[in-house]
Structure 1
Amino acid sequence: MFDTLDNLFKKTAISPSEIDILVVNVCLFSPAPSLTARVINRYKMRENVKAFNLAGMGCSASVVAIDVVQQLFKTYKNSVGIVVSTEDLGAHWYCGTDKKMMLSNCLFRSL
């Protein structure tokens, strides 16, 4: 996630301090501190950044994140927003070859 954001800020020449709206989503788990807090702290974003952490929403999290930013753009004109969409592929990943056991690996990608 941070490598992607580093590249984004480098390629766009936008400073993290210019971000007005930050939405971070992850489909399955909710770490503490939140991923949003980690992004804000790592990039030393402004104290008044509008930050939203969406977690545990499954496949809809990305769509909801985009909608949150679109709705905020209506209220906060000329704002800069960023959506960071992540996926949890951690401890529950099955590495074997038994097809019945691979369901959890493929479930969200086949709907």
Structure 2
Amino acid sequence: MSQPWRIRPEGLEVRVRVTPKGGRDAVDGVATLSDGRPVLKVRVRAAPEDGAANEAVRRLLAKALRLPASAVGLEAGATARLKTFLIAGEGQTLANDLAVLTGPTP
């Protein structure tokens, strides 16, 4: 299975499926959508109102990767459950960190 991220010159692009009002803030691992695309499953306590859930995901990804929140930006999908985030930094290192965080892929 491929990973839900792609190394880019400026960092790492990550496809995320967000569950707002998920009861807790957590990275739940990697899932495969019905069309076969892999996504990083993330849940946040915040409601999807006024960008609160997007901000919560941004901060959660930054915290999980031990980065400042400013290193994580929303690139696409502001109003959708499927979002693309760009994490600034050395792409391969970030990819390795995410792989460790999500565990072995099924």
More strand by share: 2
TM-score by length of 2: 0.31
* Greater Rg by CA: 1
